[in-house]
């Protein structure tokens, strides 16, 4: 009598239980624990590369290490019961964690897939830590590995000044398609190259006349990005920054202090405002040591070509986020009082 696939499974399991002397209930639990009788509980998508000539044992170890199956031994047992392992081809597979050994075999039997893409959006103003979180959540790449590359000088940018390793502010925020064969390093290099292209489009003659390097422009743009809520204010905020730099005034930008705290705060306490940090632009004059986030194209243009004016102060003026700009400190205080009287 020719056994069906299910019949062969039951017969072989029964034989193994007798051969191994495993009580039926305990044996069932054991086989479930190693993924042979397990139901799939799909998790996140991961990439598994099966090398040419890999044995079933080696493939099982790869799957276990990536979290695809619970046990490489269970995978070997299932492959013995199911058969068809000769059809497993070398290549990259996009598999789901938490599969039963049987479902993993079925997925491998379909063959490796060509390049596939996932779409990931990195919002303007993102910190490196935000980029890493998006990489971790939106792709099968490792966010911690990505952060290590971009924060410790393991990926370079032509915009980086000597002595600075972190790529804070130098990854261009946009929407990207991340291919299945992408690595943390190639993705980081793409984001850096895109920022370099955006900066290359700018007219930097005005910044150069002020003795500012392209990196300084990106630094200013990062503050504009963090402070502006409407497009028409970006050029004016950039001008205030340059005017204050020209007069040797502290920039007094709260967004740099928020960056110094390491948290995306919506308000600052008295202790925050007194934080001992080179990013505390209420206390330290000049530009912060690095950008404080990733500026978008509009903020980069504003920093490169600020709106003409002699303003030194600005404050939010309405509930939509527009700012009032002033030259005189008393006017600034009046604008501030006017905003505080609003019920937003």
pTM more than 0.85: no
The Cα 188–Cα 177 span in angstroms is 13
Does CATH number 3.30.1490.480 belong to domain 5-109? yes
- Asked if residues 14 and 31 have their Cβ atoms less than 8 Å apart, the reply is no
The Cα 218–Cα 202 span in angstroms is 11
108 strand-pairing partners: none
Per-residue pLDDT of the chain (344 residues; tens, 9 = 90+): 344 444 455 445 555 554 555 454 444 454 555 555 666 677 777 889 999 989 999 999 999 999 999 999 989 988 888 776 677 899 988 888 889 888 888 889 888 876 678 899 999 999 999 999 999 999 989 999 999 999 998 999 999 999 999 999 999 999 999 987 789 999 999 999 999 999 999 999 999 999 999 999 999 999 999 999 999 999 999 999 999 999 999 999 999 999 999 999 988 999 999 999 999 999 999 999 999 999 999 999 999 999 999 999 999 999 999 999 999 999 999 999 998 888 87
- Torsion angle in degrees (nearest 10) through CA of 96, 100, 106, 110: 10
pLDDT at res. 24: 47
Instruction: Give domain limits for the chain.
Output: 5-109, 117-200, 205-311
263 strand-pairing partners: none
**Shortest CA distance to 165 belongs to which of 154, 181, 173, 175?**
154
């Amino acid at each position: 009598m020719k056994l069906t696939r299910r019949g062969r499974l039951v017969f072989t399991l029964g034989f193994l239980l007798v051969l191994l002397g495993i009580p039926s209930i305990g044996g069932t639990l054991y086989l479930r624990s190693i993924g042979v009788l397990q139901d799939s509980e799909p998790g996140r998508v991961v990439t598994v590369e099966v090398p040419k000539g890999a044995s079933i044992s080696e493939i099982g170890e790869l799957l276990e290490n990536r979290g695809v199956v619970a046990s490489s031994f269970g995978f070997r047992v299932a492959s013995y019961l199911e058969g068809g392992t000769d059809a497993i081809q070398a290549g990259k597979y996009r598999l789901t964690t938490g599969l039963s050994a049987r479902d993993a075999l079925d997925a491998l039997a379909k063959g490796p897939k060509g390049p596939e893409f996932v779409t990931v959006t990195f919002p303007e103003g993102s910190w490196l830590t935000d980029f890493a979180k998006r990489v971790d959540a939106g792709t099968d790449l490792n966010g911690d590995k990505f952060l290590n590359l971009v924060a410790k000088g393991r990926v370079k940018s032509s915009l980086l000044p000597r002595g600075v390793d972190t790529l804070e502010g130098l990854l261009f925020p946009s929407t990207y398609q991340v291919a299945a064969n992408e690595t943390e390093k190639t993705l980081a290099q793409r984001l850096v190259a895109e920022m370099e292209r955006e900066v290359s489009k700018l007219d930097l003659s005005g910044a150069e006349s002020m003795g500012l390097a392209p990196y300084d422009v990106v630094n200013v743009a990062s503050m504009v990005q963090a402070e502006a809520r409407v497009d028409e204010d970006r050029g004016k905020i950039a001008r205030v920054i340059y005017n204050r730099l020209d007069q040797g005034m502290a920039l007094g930008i709260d967004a740099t202090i928020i960056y110094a705290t390491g948290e995306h705060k919506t308000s600052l306490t008295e202790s925050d405002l007194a934080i001992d940090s080179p990013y505390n632009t209420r206390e330290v004059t000049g530009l912060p040591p690095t950008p404080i986030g990733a500026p978008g194209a509009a903020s980069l243009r504003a920093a490169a070509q600020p709106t003409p004016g002699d303003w030194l102060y600005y404050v939010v003026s309405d509930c939509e986020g527009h700012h009032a700009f002033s030259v005189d400190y008393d006017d600034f205080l009046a604008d501030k009082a006017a905003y505080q009287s609003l019920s937003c």
